[in-house]
C-alpha cells in the first residue's frame, strides 16, 4: 500500500504534506495572535483595575489561564511594566505627529490633591480644530507636582508636558480651569486666556441656593435618607423593589461625591421622584416631609432643574464654549420670571446675574459667541454688551495674528522672525502702517459681510458651527481662522474630572498607592487606549447587583476618557481686551 502510494500518488502525497505544513503554520500564527491579544487584554485588566502588578504571579491565576490554554504563558510583573511603558511611548510618538501641524490649541488643566491632601496631581488635555474642521481632544498626561501647587510649580508641569510632546508653547491660547488662583495666576502671568469651567460655575450657583436656611433644613432629611440607603444593603433592596412595584423609574436617592457638580439638586429631585416609596414603607417614615416642607423642596427642584440640565450639557464632550453665554441668558431669564419677593429666588437670581456678568467680561466667551453663526448678532443674549464692542475685540485678535505671525513664519523657538535692519527706515515703517491699516479694513469688511450673511441665513441651533466654517472658509478666511482657534474650546473641564475619578481610585487603593506619578501616567494612557478602541465611555457590568458600589442606583461607570477623541463637525480669562501671544512661557 505504501509502495503504491509512493509510486502512483507521489504528487498527491506532496500536496497533502504541503497543506498539512500550511495548516500547522496557520495554526501557529493564529495561536500567536491569540496570545498577543490575551497579553493586550491582561495589560488593560491591570490598567483598569486596582489589582497590583504582582497578581500576575498568583499561582491560581496562572492555573486559571493554563486551563484555558496550556500553551499560554502569563507575562511577569516586570514584563507587564515594560509593555505598559512601550505602549505609552508609542502613544506619545503618534500624538507628537498629530500635534505637529496644529496652529493653535487650548488646554483643560485641573489638580487633584487626594483625600488627605498628601498627593498633588495635575492632568492636562489639549483641544484643537484640525484641517478638516473637526474638534479634537487629546490626553497629554498626568503629572505629580513637587511641593505645593503654586503657580510656578503648575507652570512647570504644563511646560514639561508640552515639551514631552514637542508642542510649541507659543501656540497655546489659554486654558479652562476652575477658580483656583494658582492656575489663573500662571495664565495671567503669560498673558493667556482663561475660561472658568461652566459646569463648576453652575455648581457654585446651586451650592449657594442649597445653603438658604429654609432649604438646608429640608435637605438634611434628603441627605439622611441617602446616607441610610447607602449603608443598608437590605433596605436599599427593599426600597428599590417598592419603587419598581410603583413603576417609579430613575436612580434612587443615594449620596454623591462631594465634588459632583450640582449633586444637591440632583439628589433632591431623586428624593421627590421616589417620595411615594418613602411614604409606603414603614422603615422610612422618619424621612417624610411636612406639607410645607414638601412644597418648598418641590419649588427648590423646579428652580434648579434648568441649572442641572445646563450642567449635563456642559459635561458633554461635543459642545462649544460659545454656548455658555446663551445658556446663562436663558437661565437668567428663567429665574427672573419667578417671584422676586421670595428669598430663594433672589439668591439664585443674584448668583446667576453675578456669574453671567463675569462671562460677559471674558474675551474667550465673547469671541466664541460672536464666531458661532448660531448666536452671532442674535438679539437678546448679550445682556449689557453690544455686538459692536465685540467686533473690535475680534478685529484686534485677527490683526494681532498678522503682527505676531506674519505670513505664518516662525523661528525654531516659535517666536516671530526678527525684522531686518532695513525695516527701521522711515519709508518701511510708513509702508507697514499702511499695510496694517489695509488689513484692519479687510477684517472689518469681512465682519460686515459675516453679519449680513448670518442675519439673512442663520444656521439652526441643532447644527454644528464647524459645518458652517468648513463651507465658508474661503468666503471669510480671517474669521474662519479665528473660528479654528476659538471653537476648539469646550464648556467645561469635565474630561479632567472624569479622569480624576479613576486616578483617585488608584491612589486611594492600599495595593496601588505606591505607584509613581510616571507609572500612573502610563497606566492611564494604556487604559484609555483600550477604551478608545471600544467607544467614548465604557460601562463595567457587575455580576452581583447588591454587591456593587453604587452611585444614584446605577452601576458604576468607568470614568475614563479616550486619549484622543474627535467631535466631527456634523455632531451635534483672560481679562485683557487686546489679544497677545507670548513667545515663551514665564513664571
CATH assignment at residue 124: 3.30.420
The last residue of a domain, from among 36, 55, 82: 82
- Whether 371 and 465 map to the same domain: the answer is yes
Distance (Å, whole) CA 176 – CA 110: 8
Query: What residue numbers bound the domain in which 380 lies?
Result: 320-409+442-492
- Whether 77 and 141 map to the same domain: the answer is no
First CA to last CA distance, the chain: 90
Contacts of 142 (CB under 8 A, 6+ apart): 121, 122, 123, 124, 499, 503, 517, 520, 521, 524
* pLDDT tens digit at each of 587 positions of the chain: 677 667 776 777 777 776 666 655 555 566 777 788 888 888 878 877 778 888 888 888 888 888 888 888 888 888 888 888 888 888 888 888 889 889 999 998 887 765 544 567 788 899 999 989 999 998 888 887 777 778 888 888 888 889 988 888 889 999 998 776 688 888 888 889 999 999 999 999 999 999 999 999 999 999 999 999 999 999 999 999 999 999 999 999 999 887 789 999 999 999 999 999 999 998 899 999 999 999 999 999 999 999 999 999 999 888 999 999 999 999 999 999 999 999 999 999 999 999 999 999 999 999 999 999 999 999 889 888 899 999 999 998 888 765 344 344 444 343 333 344 444 556 556 555 555 455 556 889 999 999 999 999 999 999 999 999 999 999 999 999 999 999 999 999 888 877 776 655 565 555 555 667 677 778 777 776 665 555 344 333 333 344 434 444 333 333 333 444 555 444 443 333 333 333 333 43
Distance (Å, whole) CA 56 – CA 415: 50
Question: Which letter, b or e, does each residue of 361-378 get, where b requires 16 or more Cβ atoms within 10 Å of its Cβ?
Answer: ebbbbbbbbbbbbbbbbb
* Residue 432 confidence (pLDDT): 56
Residue among 196, 198, 192 at smallest CA distance from 574 = 192
Domain count along the chain: 4
Specify if 582 maps to a domain: no
Whole-angstrom Cα Rg for the chain: 29
- Whether 243 and 224 map to the same domain: the answer is yes
Specify if 511 maps to a domain: yes
Specify if 295 maps to a domain: no
Contacts of 135 (CB under 8 A, 6+ apart): 127, 128, 129, 318, 320, 466, 487, 488, 566, 567, 568, 569
- Whether 484 and 378 map to the same domain: the answer is yes
Specify if 294 maps to a domain: no
The last residue of a domain, from among 29, 56, 82: 82
Q: Report pTM.
A: 0.77
Distance (Å, whole) CA 275 – CA 326: 34
Residue among 272, 274, 270, 273 at smallest CA distance from 262 = 270
- Whether 475 and 523 map to the same domain: the answer is no
Residue 193 contacts residue 489 (beta carbons within 8 Å)? no
Residue 308 contacts residue 291 (beta carbons within 8 Å)? no
With cell 416631609, the residue in question is: 289
Specify if 309 maps to a domain: no
With cell 450673511, the residue in question is: 453
∠ Cα 181 179 139 (to 5°): 95
* Residue 291 confidence (pLDDT): 93
- Whether 19 and 76 map to the same domain: the answer is yes
Specify if 383 maps to a domain: yes
Using CA atoms, how far residue 49 sits from 43, 46, 52, 379, 468, in Å, is 10, 6, 8, 51, 43
- Whether 330 and 389 map to the same domain: the answer is yes
What 3-state DSSP class applies to 138?
A: strand
- Whether 225 and 188 map to the same domain: the answer is no
- Whether 253 and 167 map to the same domain: the answer is no
- Whether 9 and 47 map to the same domain: the answer is yes
Specify if 127 maps to a domain: yes
What cell numbers appear for 97 in the block? Answer: 505627529
Distance (Å, whole) CA 208 – CA 228: 25
Reported as half-sphere exposure (CB side, CA atoms, 13 A), residue 337 has a value of 8
Using CA atoms, how far residue 420 sits from 41, 351, 415, 428, 477, in Å, is 58, 54, 15, 11, 28
Distance (Å, whole) CA 120 – CA 182: 13
- Whether 211 and 141 map to the same domain: the answer is no
Specify if 497 maps to a domain: no
567, with CB counted inside 10 A (0-12, 13-18, 19+), is buried
- Whether 229 and 333 map to the same domain: the answer is no
* Residue 427 confidence (pLDDT): 58
Using CA atoms, how far residue 452 sits from 38, 370, 375, 448, 457, in Å, is 59, 13, 14, 6, 9
Amino acid at each position: 500500500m505504501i509502495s503504491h502510494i509512493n509510486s502512483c500518488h507521489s504528487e498527491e502525497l506532496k500536496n497533502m504534506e504541503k497543506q498539512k505544513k500550511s495548516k500547522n503554520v496557520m495554526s501557529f500564527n493564529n495561536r500567536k495572535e491569540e496570545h498577543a491579544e490575551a497579553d493586550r487584554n491582561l495589560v488593560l485588566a491591570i490598567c483598569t483595575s486596582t489589582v497590583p502588578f504582582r497578581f500576575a504571579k498568583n499561582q491560581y491565576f496562572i492555573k486559571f489561564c493554563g486551563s484555558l490554554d496550556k500553551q499560554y504563558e502569563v507575562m511577569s510583573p516586570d514584563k507587564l511594566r515594560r509593555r505598559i511603558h512601550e505602549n505609552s511611548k508609542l502613544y506619545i510618538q503618534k500624538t507628537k505627529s498629530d500635534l505637529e501641524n496644529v496652529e493653535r490649541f487650548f488646554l483643560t488643566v485641573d489638580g487633584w490633591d487626594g483625600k488627605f491632601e498628601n498627593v498633588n496631581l495635575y492632568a492636562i488635555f489639549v483641544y484643537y480644530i484640525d484641517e478638516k474642521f473637526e474638534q479634537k481632544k487629546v490626553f497629554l498626561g498626568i503629572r505629580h507636582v513637587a511641593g505645593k501647587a503654586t503657580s510656578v510649580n503648575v507652570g512647570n508641569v504644563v511646560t514639561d508636558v508640552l515639551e514631552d510632546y514637542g508642542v510649541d508653547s507659543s501656540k497655546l491660547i489659554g486654558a479652562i480651569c476652575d477658580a483656583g488662583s494658582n492656575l489663573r495666576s500662571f495664565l495671567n502671568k503669560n498673558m493667556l486666556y482663561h475660561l472658568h469651567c461652566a459646569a463648576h460655575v453652575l455648581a457654585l450657583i446651586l451650592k449657594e441656593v442649597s445653603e438658604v436656611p429654609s432649604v438646608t433644613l429640608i435637605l438634611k432629611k434628603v441627605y439622611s435618607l441617602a446616607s441610610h440607603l447607602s449603608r443598608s444593603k437590605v433596605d436599599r433592596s427593599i426600597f428599590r423593589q417598592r419603587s419598581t412595584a410603583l413603576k417609579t423609574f430613575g436612580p434612587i436617592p443615594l449620596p454623591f461625591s462631594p465634588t459632583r457638580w450640582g449633586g444637591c439638586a440632583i439628589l433632591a429631585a431623586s428624593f421627590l421622584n421616589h417620595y411615594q416609596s418613602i411614604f409606603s414603607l414603614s422603615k422610612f417614615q422618619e424621612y417624610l416631609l411636612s406639607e410645607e416642607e414638601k412644597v418648598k423642596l418641590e419649588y427648590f427642584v423646579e428652580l434648579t432643574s434648568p441649572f442641572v440640565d445646563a450642567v449635563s450639557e456642559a459635561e458633554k464632550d461635543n459642545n462649544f464654549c460659545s454656548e455658555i453665554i446663551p445658556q446663562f441668558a436663558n437661565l437668567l431669564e428663567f429665574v427672573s420670571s419667578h417671584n422676586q419677593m421670595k428669598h430663594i429666588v433672589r439668591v439664585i437670581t443674584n448668583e446667576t446675574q453675578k456669574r453671567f456678568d463675569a462671562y460677559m467680561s471674558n474675551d474667550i466667551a465673547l469671541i466664541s459667541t460672536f464666531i458661532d453663526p448660531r448666536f452671532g448678532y442674535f438679539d437678546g443674549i448679550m445682556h449689557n454688551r453690544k455686538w459692536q464692542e465685540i467686533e473690535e475685540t475680534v478685529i484686534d485678535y485677527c490683526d494681532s495674528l498678522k503682527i505676531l505671525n506674519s505670513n505664518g513664519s516662525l523661528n525654531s523657538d516659535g517666536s516671530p522672525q526678527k525684522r531686518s535692519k532695513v525695516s527701521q527706515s522711515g519709508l518701511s515703517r510708513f509702508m507697514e502702517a499702511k499695510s496694517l491699516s489695509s488689513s484692519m479694513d479687510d477684517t472689518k469688511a469681512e465682519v460686515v459681510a459675516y453679519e449680513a450673511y448670518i442675519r439673512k441665513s442663520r444656521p439652526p441651533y441643532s447644527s454644528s458651527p464647524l459645518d458652517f466654517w468648513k463651507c465658508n472658509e474661503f468666503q471669510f478666511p480671517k474669521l474662519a481662522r479665528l473660528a479654528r482657534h476659538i471653537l476648539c474650546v469646550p464648556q467645561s473641564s469635565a474630561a479632567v474630572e472624569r479622569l480624576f475619578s479613576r486616578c483617585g481610585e488608584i491612589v486611594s487603593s492600599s495595593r496601588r498607592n505606591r505607584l509613581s506619578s510616571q507609572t500612573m501616567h502610563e497606566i492611564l494612557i494604556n487604559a484609555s487606549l483600550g477604551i478608545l478602541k471600544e467607544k467614548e465611555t465604557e460601562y463595567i457590568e457587575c455580576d452581583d447587583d447588591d454587591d456593587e458600589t453604587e452611585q444614584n442606583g446605577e452601576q458604576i461607570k468607568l470614568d475614563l476618557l479616550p486619549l484622543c477623541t474627535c467631535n466631527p463637525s456634523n455632531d451635534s480669562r483672560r481679562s485683557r481686551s487686546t489679544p497677545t501671544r507670548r513667545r515663551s512661557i514665564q513664571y
